[in-house]
Structure 1
Amino acid sequence: MIIRLLTMLVAALSFAAAVPQTARADAGDFIGGAVVGGVVGYAIGKDQQKKKSRSTTRTYRSTIPSTSQGAQTQTALNYFGYNAGRVDGQVGHGTRSAIERYQASMGYPVNGYDFQPYQYDFLMQAYYWATSGGQATTQLSGQPLLMAYRQQVQTGSALAAAPQAAAPAVPVITPQEADDVTETTEASTASLPSLFSGGAGGPSLANRCSGVMLQTSTNGGYTTLSNMSDPDFALSEQFCLARSYAMAQGEELMQDIQGLTPDQVAAQCASYGDMLAPQVGALSINSKSEAETQVRKLALDSGLSPADLAATSKVCLAMGYRQDNMDTAVGSALMLVAMGEPAYGELVGHHLREGFGVQARRDLAMQWYDASLSALDAGSQAVFLPSQTDRPQLLRAAMVQSQ
């Protein structure tokens, strides 16, 4: 069924380059999770090149770029009743005023030109929660809904309970509907992991990061090299910050996907996570080298190019975190490392240190942290907050002090 679905979806994306067809027979299930991503990758690459040639930059003192992050901020502010105006990604007076109203209601320092990352992260966490079932469960809207989310985080009450009642609809294509990929039916909540279940019934990273962001807010901002007193918390902050950054990157890429609905992308990424679940499960017992070898073999068996797999993984990394599906998120990060992007190994280290999606193994986590930071030292491209040049030093100092 997965192969049948993917064949139809590939046909719907005929504008993209042809998908590689050669693969070993026993890799069929893996292709089920990756072929669409390969096609998507071509579309993403083409559209990103176009964007670079036509993009313009406006000068604002706000820390929010006039890009998808600005649009996401405007969308969330509007959703909670702060009225940022038209969603265009351009951070002007209306958006800054809305930020100040949000800051005031949350008890943050009020300065629309200085929208701190922890303030943005908490706003987006609340928005993801609300749109994934929190609003339907609480029957609240606007600022009261945001305050309800904050109250649940403060009291430690089960945020996981809200989305259970309203999991997203997932397209299901039956053999009778094979001639029309736009025909869908609503799937049961069992079709995808619960948005806040952690993938396989484990702890929720979304809940964890909401709590971290709240503590960061109480502390007055993120931990720095000069004020670090709790290295474990500093690593947790950076974990959640990298998660938010990966989600923002992936959502920007998803805007360039043509021919697939968000639910179809979600379904494919869930399948991708299922295919990588054995490799994710083995992370807690294998060395970093052994884990990479296994994933590279899986990638080779798929017959897809590294570029296709990397494009798939970046989209599915965001989707995995968006759905709190740890098999998809961790598996995508693992594949990116195996495909030659070692900076993503930081995420694998975070997961192994805190036990989200895998059994906690701090000793193995250090292998992934060290390899990722060593690659950055050697000139590898930073993928999380590249403008913060002192971030690798903060991570390394926190690693050393936390042992």
Structure 2
Amino acid sequence: MTRRTLPVLVALSLAVTAPVSAMADNLGAAIVGGIIGGAIMNSQKPRQKTYVKKSYNSAARAQNREVQTSLNYFGFPAGTPDGVLGSRSRTAISQYQAHLGYPVTGALTEYERQFLVSSYNRAQLGGPQVVKILQRSQQGPRALLTAFQKEQGGGGTMMAGGHGGFGYAGLPVEVSDAVDEIAQSSEPSAEQLLQRAGFIQTADLNGDGKNDYVIDTAVTGSSFWCGQTECATLLFASTSDGYARKQFMYKLNAQRTNKITTADFQCDYAGCKMNDPMLASATAVPAPAPAAPAPAAPQAGGTTMASASISAIPMFTAPAPTVAPSLASYCDKVGVLTNSNGGYVTAVSMTDSQLALSEQMCLTRTYAIARGESMITQVAGLSAEQVDAQCDAFGPALAPYVAALEGGSAQDVMGQVRSFALGANMSIEQLQSTGAICLYSGYRRDKQDVALGAALLLVGAGQVPYAETVGHHLSQGFGVTQNGETAKEWYDLAITALDGGAEPVYAPSQKGRVELLKAATTGVPSGQPAATPQPAALPTFKLE
């Protein structure tokens, strides 16, 4: 029966490209969601096979569980870590071996096992370099394996793998490290970047007789380093023992044609600063406009030319279309701040609650994309484009609940999406699988309506910690009007669920996330007493 059902499901998936208005009811939503969720659930059903029972000692099982846990983290699905390396685990091992270029045997050598487990442990420890790789790569956690392998093979650091630790010809090691760092998040290779005009400029800026270096990321094409309105530039000033790196951001004009040059920097004994030409021009006093000439009096009996009166006619132009803000671009900028600060804000170190919430929003986006990439490999018979089309068609069924966020309380909207989930002709597991994949689809394509609808579906399907995602969107204004009060209600739902023992859906190994969310939503760092609120000044958030 299953073999006959799958072609029918694939055929239904092609049918969902009909007008989306036909999908805006529970039945249509159930059909679309059932295809995605059902495909995952079917792929996870155990097949009837005959196994030969084997005996394992406890040490071997513990070691195998480590392997299975590590494989699952890096996106090679090995199933439940039970300590038995069955066919599914062997398939995952083969995928891991193929990813790193090892001989594909389905059985790990001791070196391959140690590298896998140590990479997993290193990823769990986190740190600025791990954060950088996860934020820049579209591969998710698998990118860590590649970076760790390059580091091990090249003998340098993850940020210095391209030049082997000796520097590109004519460039200091510090500058070469930065070239490799930029190349990791852009399409051109490090060698190609070095050939681009304006990428690296030199001048003796501090007057010590040595070349100083300026890197302009505007020519890289990387959205991580250069966003829609501003770009990063790196200055390397010579010192007695090498080069000191400093990073600046400069504004782009509307045409994105302006560049930074060495003439825009000023260095002295106290350090270096950048004079942004765009900021200087923005504060300059404009020259007075010339007085308009008085209109010539028409001659008696003559004919007045139409052009003579045009200046008196007011000109009305249509306003420029509003472009929805890009969360991907926003997270690129947040990532730059996180890297320059040496890592994520914690509950103890927090001084800017908005930065802390922005970092956590971008972190949850990264985890959602990584999880979705892993799950989509289990959807048999559907391409990524077909999955995206189904998630887009699923959107109208959830649009009323997204719209309800504009004025409804968190409790009211959550009750509505729960009723929707219970009325859909799908199991809870299928709803959760569909929500996770559509959350990935929305974030990957920067479609915030799809992502926000998927997050609401997950909350309605019983995964209340996803309320944090809804809170982030409301807090930062992506896909919905910014509303700090309602955002706090959604944050409180997630925090209450996590405090009550709910399984974390984001960064489960990162300690202190709940405390950070509590501190950020109240604006008070952990360990500091909150000021006594004045009833007339602060809003009261009442959850029913």
Please identify which structure carries the higher strand content: 2
Deviations 1:82-120 (A, max 9, x none): xx9996997872488572227999979x8xxxxxxxx9x
Letter in 1 for 2:38: V
Matched, 1:268 2:390: yes
Matched, 1:344 2:466: yes
* 1:238–1:123 distance in 2 versus 1, CA, 3 Å: farther
Cα separation, 2, equivalents of 1:366 and 1:107:
43
Deviation at residue 40 of structure 1 after TM alignment:
2.7
Q: Say which is worse superposed, 275-284 or 304-313, in terms of deviation.
A: 275-284
Matches within 5 A, 1:228-377: 228-377=350-499
Figure out how many residues of one structure are paired with residues of the other and give that number: 318
Cα separation, 2, equivalents of 1:26 and 1:323:
24
Cα separation, 2, equivalents of 1:78 and 1:271:
24
Highest RCO, 1 vs 2 (Cα 8 Å, sep ≥ 6):
1
SS at match of 2:344: coil
Deviations 1:179-230 (A, max 9, x none): xxxxxxxxxxxxxxxxxxxxx9522111111111111122222112232111
SS at match of 2:408: coil
* 1:285–1:156 distance in 2 versus 1, CA, 3 Å: farther
Return the match for 2:226 from 134, 145, 151.
Answer: 151
Cα separation, 1, equivalents of 2:463 and 2:501:
12
Matched, 1:59 2:126: no
Q: Percent identity?
A: 32
Verify the 8 A CA contact 1:296 1:339 in the aligned structure 2.
yes
- Give unmatched runs, 5+ long, in structure 2: 13-23, 47-76, 94-112, 125-129, 168-172, 189-195, 197-216, 232-249, 257-321, 525-537, 539-544
Verify the 8 A CA contact 1:60 1:91 in the aligned structure 2.
no
Deviations 1:335-386 (A, max 9, x none): 1111111111100011111111111111111111111111111111011110
Matches within 5 A, 1:127-166: 145=220, 149-152=224-227, 154=231, 155=250
* 1:7–1:392 distance in 2 versus 1, CA, 3 Å: same
* 1:77–1:360 distance in 2 versus 1, CA, 3 Å: closer
1:33 aligns with: 32
SS at match of 2:325: coil
SS at match of 2:117: coil
Please identify which structure carries the higher helix content: 1
Letter in 1 for 2:495: L
Verify the 8 A CA contact 2:133 2:144 in the aligned structure 1.
no
Verify the 8 A CA contact 1:60 1:92 in the aligned structure 2.
no
- Give unmatched runs, 5+ long, in structure 1: 1-5, 14-24, 111-118, 131-137, 162-199
Cα separation, 1, equivalents of 2:373 and 2:138:
18
Verify the 8 A CA contact 2:43 2:378 in the aligned structure 1.
yes
Matches within 5 A, 1:46-195: 46=45, 50=79, 52=81, 54=89, 58-60=116-118, 63-64=122-123, 93-94=152-153, 97=156, 99-101=158-160, 126=185, 145=220, 149-152=224-227, 154=231, 155=250
Cα separation, 1, equivalents of 2:506 and 2:394:
23
Cα separation, 2, equivalents of 1:148 and 1:26:
38
Cα separation, 1, equivalents of 2:380 and 2:28:
24
Structure index of larger Rg:
2
Cα separation, 1, equivalents of 2:513 and 2:183:
23
* 1:158–1:386 distance in 2 versus 1, CA, 3 Å: farther
Q: Say which is worse superposed, 94-103 or 324-333, in terms of deviation.
A: 94-103
SS at match of 2:505: coil
Verify the 8 A CA contact 1:326 1:357 in the aligned structure 2.
yes
Verify the 8 A CA contact 1:78 1:85 in the aligned structure 2.
no
Letter in 1 for 2:476: E
SS at match of 2:443: helix
Q: Say which is worse superposed, 41-50 or 300-309, in terms of deviation.
A: 41-50
Deviation at residue 322 of structure 1 after TM alignment:
0.5
Cα separation, 2, equivalents of 1:349 and 1:305:
26
Cα separation, 1, equivalents of 2:512 and 2:473:
22
Letter in 1 for 2:438: C
Instruction: Name the TM-score, length of structure 1 as normaliser.
Output: 0.66
RMSD: 4.5
* 1:35–1:77 distance in 2 versus 1, CA, 3 Å: closer
Verify the 8 A CA contact 1:273 1:331 in the aligned structure 2.
yes
Cα separation, 2, equivalents of 1:41 and 1:262:
14
Cα separation, 2, equivalents of 1:107 and 1:270:
46
Verify the 8 A CA contact 2:465 2:502 in the aligned structure 1.
yes
Verify the 8 A CA contact 2:224 2:333 in the aligned structure 1.
no
Letter in 2 for 1:150: W
SS at match of 1:225: coil
Deviation at residue 59 of structure 1 after TM alignment:
3.1
* 1:213–1:308 distance in 2 versus 1, CA, 3 Å: same
